[in-house]
Amino acid sequence: MDTQDRTEHSGARGAPLSVAQAEAALVEHYPRLVRLAFITLPPSLGRHRRVLAAHGLVQRALPSLRTTTGRPAAASTLPAQRTAAPAEGAYLTLRARVLREALTYGKRPAWWPRHVPRPERLRPLLPAVWGLRLFPAAGGADELALEQALSGADSATRAALALRRVEQLSEDETRRRLADAGVAEPALALRTAERLGRQVLGEPGEGREHPLLSGEFDPCFVHTRPTDLLRRRHRVRTAAATLVVAAVAAGVLPVVIGDTPRPAERTAATGAVNASIAQRVLDPRNLVRPADDEWADTSRVDFTVWPARGDRVDDLPLLDRALKVWASPARTVRISSTPGAGTQPPTAPPRLLYAGDVDGTAVVLLNDGDRTIRYAEPADGDEPPALDFARTDDADVVTGAALVVTRDGANTRFLLAPWIDETTTRDLLEPDAPGGKLGVRADGVTDPVRRPGAGGTCDSWPVLQLRSSELIVEKHAFLLTDLGDLAPVHLTYTPPPGSGAPARQPREATSAAALRTWARSACHLPAMRGFGVRAVNNWVYAQQTLPEAGGRADWVCTRADTWRGPGRVMVQLHLPATAPTALGTPVATAEDTASCSRFGQHVLAGANWRAPKSGTWYLLAAGSRKVRTIEAGGGLKAEARGPLLAVRAPQGVKAELRAKTADGSTLEGMR
Least confident of 10-24, 29-43, 198-212: 10-24
Closest CA to 338 of 540, 101, 126, 564: 564
Average pLDDT, the chain: 81
Nearest CA-CA partner of 152 in 107, 199, 108 = 199
Q: Angle 182-452-212 (CA atoms, 0-180°, nearest 5)?
A: 50
In 3D space, the residue among 479, 399, 409 whose CA is nearest the CA of residue 448 turns out to be: 409
For 320-355, what is each residue's pLDDT tens digit?
999 999 988 888 899 999 888 888 888 889 999 999
Return d(Cα 526, Cα 521) in angstroms, integer: 11
Task: Report the pLDDT value the prediction gives residue 470, as an integer from 0 to 100.
Answer: 87
Question: Long-range contacts for 542-546 (Cβ within 8 Å, ≥24 apart)?
Answer: 542/496, 542/497, 542/622, 542/623, 542/624, 542/625, 542/643, 542/644, 543/496, 544/620, 544/622, 544/644, 544/646, 546/575, 546/576, 546/609, 546/611, 546/618, 546/620, 546/646
State the DSSP string of 165-233: HTS---HHHHHHHHHHTT-S-HHHHHHHHHHHHHHHH-S--TTPPPGGGSGGG-TTSEEEEE--HHHHH
Segment 598-616, tens digit of pLDDT: 888 899 999 999 999 899 9
What is the per-residue pLDDT for 182?
87
pLDDT, tens digit (0-9, with 9 covering 90-100), for 451-469: 987 767 888 999 999 999 9
pLDDT computed for residue 356 by the predictor: 96
Between helix 30-40 and helix 19-28 the angle, nearest 10°, is 80
Looking at residue 266, its amino acid is R
β-bridge mates for residue 479, sequence order: 465, 491
Please give the backbone phi and psi of residue 466, each rounded to the nearest 5 degrees, phi first. Answer: -115, 155
CB 18: neighbour CB atoms within 10 A?
21
pLDDT tens-place string over residues 158-217: 899 999 888 989 998 999 999 998 888 888 888 888 887 776 666 665 455 787 887 778
- pLDDT computed for residue 559 by the predictor: 95
The answer on pLDDT for 15 being more than 70 is: no
pLDDT of residue 251: 44
d(CA 195, CA 176): 19
Please tell me the predicted confidence (pLDDT) of residue 461. Answer: 95
Query: What is the predicted pLDDT for the residue at 543?
Result: 95
- The answer to whether 352 and 296 have CB atoms below 8 angstroms apart is no
Per-residue pLDDT of 509-556, as tens digits, reads: 999 999 999 999 999 999 888 889 999 999 999 999 999 999 999 999
- The pLDDT value given to residue 262: 43
Integer-rounded Cα Rg, in Å, for the chain is 28
Question: Does 232 score more than 60 pLDDT?
Answer: no
Is pLDDT at 507 greater than 50 in this prediction?
Answer: yes
Give the model's pLDDT for residue 401: 96
Question: What are the backbone dihedrals phi and psi of residue 500, each rounded to the nearest 5 degrees, phi first?
Answer: -75, 175
CB contact at 8 A, 391 and 401 = no
DSSP E strands in 458-566: the ranges are 462-468, 477-481, 489-494, 507-508, 533-545, 552-562
Answer yes or no: is pLDDT of 423 > 80: yes
Q: What pLDDT was estimated at residue 233?
A: 52
Q: What is the pLDDT of residues 69-94, one digit of tens each?
A: 333 333 333 333 334 455 677 888 88
In tens, the pLDDT along 271-309 reads: 545 555 567 788 999 999 988 888 888 878 899 999 999
Q: Is the pLDDT of residue 257 over 60?
A: no
- What pairing do the DSSP bridges indicate for beta strands 477-481 and 552-562? unpaired
Residue 142 has pLDDT above 80, yes or no: no
Task: Let me know: does 159 contact 183? Beta carbons within 8 Å.
Answer: yes
**How much is the pLDDT for 462?**
95
Kind of pairing between the strands at 386-391 and 334-337: parallel
